[in-house]
Structure 1
């Protein structure tokens, strides 16, 4: 199966276990892998024969900006569910990262990596 990778979607949101995370917010980063058949669009050169990933990017940003979940796992799941609503996409991989989680003496990032299919 063919795929389109969309990396580096960055948006400010309010998901997190701590009350401050849901009030003050923080940055999130998302990478998507969209599985779909690209053979037709590869021959036709017509956007209508593929997925317009600009819409997926806008949707991911909107979800991050408006959702207030306790867990990033829930945020990743909602993103996957909504991406799968695109007719041509059969499977999606969502890598959702918190680049600066509020954990004392920790300078790394937390990443949730899920794959969902129709």
Structure 2
């Protein structure tokens, strides 16, 4: 059985970007993370040890967002890697990261990068 866990529209202020002002001023980033794992045991046991601890995943995301990087791809990769290291039972992870105020011409809601990996 595959179950899915979603972190939806997690808003974090951080300092990622290539331009010097992005590293000094920062902006909001929106993260969406999808995790697949067999969580059927937790359905019956009601035991935190039988599932993916959402609070620990949230902490991994926040910790990685505090490390300034030039590329969103790099941040997404670190988030994905560290979630998988903490929870080896995960079979799939998708991380989408959106920069809400990219320093570019034109009016937009943001620019996003999405990476995913299947561990089957």
Normalising by structure 2, we get a TM-score of: 0.89
Equivalent residue for 1:68? Answer: 68
Equivalent residue for 1:92? Answer: 93
In 2, Cα distance between equivalents of 1:48 and 1:82: 18
Displacement of 1:62 after TM fit? Answer: 1.6
In 1, Cα distance between equivalents of 2:88 and 2:7: 18
What is the RMSD of the two structures over their aligned residues, measured on CA atoms?
Answer: 1.3
Equivalent residue for 1:21? Answer: 22
What runs of 5+ residues in structure 1 fail to find an aligned partner? none
Displacement of 1:109 after TM fit? Answer: 1.1
Deviating 4+ runs (over 3 angstroms):
none
What runs of 5+ residues in structure 2 fail to find an aligned partner? none
Equivalent residue for 1:78? Answer: 78
Displacement of 1:115 after TM fit? Answer: 0.6
Q: Aligned to 1:77, what secondary structure does the other structure show?
A: helix
1:1-118 equivalent positions in 2, closer than 5 A: 1-65=2-66, 67-85=67-85, 86-118=87-119
Normalising by structure 1, we get a TM-score of: 0.91
In 2, Cα distance between equivalents of 1:78 and 1:97: 15
Displacement of 1:87 after TM fit? Answer: 2.7
